[in-house]
Amino acid sequence: MSRRISVLKMTIGVWLATFFLISPLLAQDTFYKGKTIRLIVAFSAGGGFDTYSRAIARHLAKHIPGNPAIIVDNMTGAGGIIQANYMYLQAKPDGLTIGSNIGGLFLQQIFGAKGIEFDGRKFEYLGGPAVDNPVCALTKASGITSIEKWFAAKEPVKLGGVGPGGTASDVARIVQAALNLPIKVVEPYKGTADIKLAAEGGELAGGCWAWESIKTMWRKGLETGDVAVMVLAMPKKHPDLPNVPLAIDYAKGEEGRRLLKYGIHDTAIITRPYFLAPGTPKDRVQLLRKAFSETLNDPAFLAEAKKSNLDIEPVSGEEMEKVVAGLFKLEPGMVARLKDVLVPR
């Protein structure tokens, strides 16, 4: 009799353990089934952020239990601040809204920039598709065909920007300050697609943003020679650009090198963060982090990315979280100098 009771207790114990292990998984399946996830991109359609996001959206759903529908929206304005504020203040923390924005905004938060109502340390990061390699590309029509000619320009060269915190604005300003290059940043454009059109129309000479985006969206211009990369703003050569000079080789002293390091090099890893609203349940954060990682390693996605000329170098949500936290520990003197360069007066 006692043996039967022991066996019964053991059976019940195994059943309960199994129930508590499986229940969360079943709940996740139930939650996303029949739902729609909204992926909000902070910049205009046709640009690099939008291109990455739409490619990811086409493959993400199958890696999420319940296979939800995924739609991509664009919420532009203020260099990404409008979208970031929305994600922080208005997006429901339920795992049904994903943000795609730019990591430079976190420096703007540290600087106390106007209009920022979010705290980048409180977002839940899913990860990023690539580590960016910022370059400055100019049109042939601008008359600037080498960095030497750029240094010799009698008038500041007009480069497009999206606003403080955006790569196009920040890279141009850091390169200007670190190298003492004649540059005038014209902003705000809604995104890099708009900067490209303005440059092609002669309104601008070009712009500075990720090579990963430029080589995709400006492929035709690069192939015909109507557009050329003048300088790479990373510490090492890129295999696609073996003959393009490095900005750091032209930096003006130690301060110039430090500006490039903290203003561009160290933030390249968080240029393309994908994130959820603060307070999203941890189980959904982990589920979506896993799905995001699986998507970036999905053979079908990688084939599409290759066809679209999108570089993929995944950054995990955990890694991104650490880098963002580290930005808030920069020494006050460096923060003050970066603010002086990156925040227009």
pLDDT digits over 284-312, tens only?
A: 999 999 999 999 999 999 999 999 888 99
pLDDT band of 22, cuts 50, 70, 90: very low
Distances (CA, A) of 34 to 61, 69, 130, 267: 11, 7, 30, 37
State residue 4's pLDDT score: 52
**pLDDT at 8 > cutoff 90:** no
State residue 28's pLDDT score: 55
Which residue shows structure tokens 């390169």? 175
Determine the average pLDDT of the residues in 212-240: 95
State residue 296's pLDDT score: 98
Determine the average pLDDT of the residues in 13-27: 47
Q: Could you give all domains of the chain from N- to C-terminal order, each with its CATH number?
A: 28-131+269-332 (3.40.190.150), 134-265 (3.40.190.10)
Q: Does 134 sit behind a cis peptide bond, omega within 30 degrees of 0 on the bond before it?
A: no
State residue 17's pLDDT score: 46
pLDDT band of 36, cuts 50, 70, 90: very high
pLDDT band of 16, cuts 50, 70, 90: very low
pLDDT tens digit sequence for 50-70: 999 999 999 999 999 999 999
**pLDDT at 1 > cutoff 70:** no
**pLDDT at 18 > cutoff 50:** no
**pLDDT at 265 > cutoff 50:** yes
pLDDT tens digit sequence for 304-344: 999 988 899 999 999 999 999 999 999 999 999 999 999 88
pLDDT tens digit sequence for 155-197: 999 999 999 988 999 999 999 999 999 999 999 998 899 999 9
State residue 32's pLDDT score: 97
For residues 138 and 151, what is the distance between their CA atoms, to the nearest angstrom?
A: 14
**pLDDT at 111 > cutoff 50:** yes
Name the β-bridge partners of 232.
135, 246
